[in-house]
Amino acid sequence: MKNLSILVVDDDPVLRHLLRKRLKIAGYSVESAEDGYVARDLIHKQSFDVVLTDLMMPGDIGGLEVLELAKEKDSSIEVVLITAHSSVDTAVQAMKKGAADYLEKPVNFDELFLRLDKIANIQTMYRSAVDLRLALSRTEGEAGQTIQMLELLCGKLQQSLDEIETTLEKDGATSEERVASALAIIRET
């Protein structure tokens, strides 16, 4: 089982079934939608790592809108567009809007699996970076509390030492009185 969950969105039933089947055989967990509307509902209901969507679909929700919906839901969802050769320009526009990649029709499955492996690698690295950052901030938090406590303690001790120095140097007091005052400061500390 591969560790990516994929949503396939395509109005062409032949391609949709083919994609679904090949991805399942390759070990991915796959859901599919026959248009942008069904995709929208699935994106809201479930969580996906990757949305693989046709660029041109009937209705108001095409590939670009699916991209926007996915990114709105969770910016970590990667979107790969499937496009006809004639709409490569639109696909490039989509990349600017945050799509991870695009594939030209007819879909070359070796190429698709390669892209998905890359996405899986990036997501793994991303997660480990987030984990490391979390670990770092915990460690930093713990160390910070200790250091700050010591810092305040040092400041307080320094203040006492200064007071003791003044007390011991005080004019007009006997040695006994000075020592007694100094001891009193030490006991207070």
Partner 1 sequence: MIKITPTELNLVAQYIQAISGIYLDQSKTYLFETRLSSVAEAHGCANYQDLYNLAKRDLSKKIEKEIVDAITTNETLFFRDKGPFELLQHKILPEVIDARSGKSALKPRIKIWSAAASTGQELYSIAIVIKELLKDSNDYTFTLLGTDISDAAIAQASYGKYNRFEIERGLDKKNLQKYFTLLGDSWKIKDEIRAMVNFKKLNLMQPFSALGKFDIIFCRNVAIYFTLADRKTLFTKLAGSLNDDGYLIIGSTESLTGVCPLFVPKRHLRSIFYQKK
Compute the least distance from the CB of residue 72 to partner 1, in Å. 8
Q: Which residues of this protein are in contact with partner 1, per CB under 8 A?
A: 71, 75-76, 96-98, 126, 129-130, 133-134, 137, 140-141, 143-145, 147-148, 150-152, 154-155
Check: CB of residue 31 under 8 Å from CB of residue 6: yes
CA 139 from centroid of its chain's CA atoms: 19
Q: Closer to partner 1 at the Cβ: 35 or 98?
A: 98
Q: Closer to partner 1 at the Cβ: 30 or 55?
A: 55
Number of DSSP helices (H) and strands (E) in the chain, helices first? 6, 5
Q: Closer to partner 1 at the Cβ: 147 or 186?
A: 147
Sheet holding 78-83, edge to edge: 29-33, 5-9, 50-54, 78-83, 101-104
Q: Closer to partner 1 at the Cβ: 96 or 187?
A: 96
Compute the least distance from the CB of residue 22 to partner 1, in Å. 27
Compute the least distance from the CB of residue 86 to partner 1, in Å. 23
Q: Which 8-state DSSP code applies to residue 106? A: S
Check: CB of residue 51 under 8 Å from CB of residue 80: yes
Token digits for 170? 């005080």
Compute the least distance from the CB of residue 55 to partner 1, in Å. 17
Q: Closer to partner 1 at the Cβ: 133 or 170?
A: 133
Compute the least distance from the CB of residue 33 to partner 1, in Å. 23
d(CA 39, CA 53): 9
